[in-house]
Amino acid sequence: MKKIKIAIQGELGAYSHIAANDLFKDAEIKTCATFEETFKQAYDDENYRIIIPIENSLAGRVADIHYLLPKYKLQIHGEYFLNVEHNLLSKPEAKIENIKFVRSHAQAIGQCQKIINKHKFQSIISADTAGSAKDLSEGDDTSIAAIASELSAKIYKLKILEKNIEDEKGNVTRFLIMGKNIEQPEMNNQKKFITSCIFRLKSEPSALYKCLGGFATNQINLTKLESFSVKNTFDQANFYLDLEGHLEQPGVKKAMEELGFHTVTLDILGVYEASKFRQK
């Protein structure tokens, strides 16, 4: 049986790697340096799926992702919510009193300020959490620690000085599972679905108000609506939208028809089963 191929941004041990392990046992993992490289991998090779973080409960949306969605137009096959637990990692022989510097992704640094301030660590910003752990393992400096996952500690043979060092518990990242092929599930009244799309409005007064009216009249719940600028201009914006429902439901179909009437472009990114995390 062929292994499922998954591409992620970051080194092995990244939180995307953890999500991949949770979703697909024994998958073949390909690491990519950037989010764009990750998207391009799936765009060029339909055998790959990608697992991409799109938003975090503390830090908000993940930069760059919204610009890559309309560029590559990959299809969303599913979503996954992961509890993020940060750990302070060091060389096996290091002690916490010897640590002077801490290295990690900017978001992880920002989410662990209490321990950083307590020990008066100096922060070093890196491209990703797992990459920080990998760099630490390859060096000899025992005065540097990394903030990364428990999986990173295992992979790179590092010591966990302190577990769960994040300032706030309940730190959750939402991931999207995406691929080039369309995999739309059949409508089932016993299940809950999410439909995602990106659109650009016509340049006319009240366009946003008008296009959202169809969701109100058809009683469709919007779980997410975000705007982001079209590159190189302040005159236009794209909108990313998640709604509860399946495209084959009559109310959703009518609302989407109304939306399309007031837009210049409308791309359906996917219809997929809602995560059970949403039912909490």
Give one DSSP letter per residue of 203-257, joined into a string.
SSTTHHHHHHHHHHHTTPPEEEEEEEEPTT-SS-EEEEEEEES-TTSHHHHHHHH
b/e sequence 129-148, b meaning 16+ C-beta within 10 Å: bbbbbbbbbeeeebebbbbb
How many Cβ atoms are within 10 Å of 274's Cβ, its own excluded?
A: 17
Please state, in angstroms and rounded to a whole number, the distance separating the CA atoms of residues 91 and 143: 9
Q: Is 260 exposed, middle or buried (0-12, 13-18, 19+ CB in 10 A)?
A: middle
> Are 193 and 185 in contact, with CB atoms under 8 Å apart?
yes
> Quick check: 147 and 88 in contact, CB under 8 A?
yes
* Residues carrying an active site annotation: 173, 175
Characterize the bridge pairing of strands 159-162 and 87-90. antiparallel
Q: Assess contact for 62 and 175: CB atoms under 8 A.
A: no
- Cα distances from 95 to residues 144, 156, 159, 162, in angstroms, run 10, 17, 10, 11
**56 DSSP β-pair partners:** 60, 173
**CA-wise closest residue to 176 among 227, 259, 242, 230:** 242
